[in-house]
Amino acid sequence: MNDKPRDWDKELAEIDKAIARAPAQPPAQSGGAATAPVRGGGATATGGRLATLTTWFRTLLGLALAVGMTQWPYANACGLNLAVYLGAISTVVVAGLWSSITSWQRRLGLAHTLSLLVLLWGVILVAREVLPRVSYARQVRTWTCPVSGPER
């Protein structure tokens, strides 16, 4: 080994000169394929103002639907009414999932939190209707309505 100490200032100065001579853009990949642009922060990463507005629209629409489910005006104990109610609940779940994905991609923290709350509320509503019908809850319910025939 060499017992002579290294002159770090001289070596770092050479590295700085080499960096200054290097091209600003990285060279293209072999095979003629263009390199993908690097995503940075700011408006380009979020997709712009329109994308932010559409994400907030989805989030608020899902939130309105979730709140509206608390005021469901029809009986939903069994049969077709139960199927329609479960369809509406699944719409809440899909709205929460969809808006949570887009708000995550656009880095909108408050919208993402609201979307996850909508998703959680939808899952709670599904559990409230499905679990008693699969004999998991204390009170057992049926999927179909009992047939009422003529009494003799």
Residue 123 lies in a domain: yes
* DSSP classification of residue 30: T
pLDDT of residue 31: 54
Q: Considering its fold, how many domains does the chain have in total?
A: 1
pLDDT, one tens digit per residue, over 14-69 is 988 888 887 766 655 555 555 555 454 444 455 789 999 999 999 999 999 999 99
Q: How many whole angstroms separate alpha carbon 10 and alpha carbon 3?
A: 18
Of the candidates 88, 68, 85, 69, the one whose C-alpha atom is nearest the C-alpha of residue 77 is 85
pLDDT digits (tens, 9 = 90+) for 93-137: 999 999 999 999 999 999 999 999 999 999 999 999 999 888 777
Residue 68 lies in domain: 46-134
From residue 151, alpha-carbon distances to 29, 147, 148 in Å are 83, 12, 8
- Residue 10 belongs to a domain: no
Q: Is 61 part of a structural domain of the chain?
A: yes
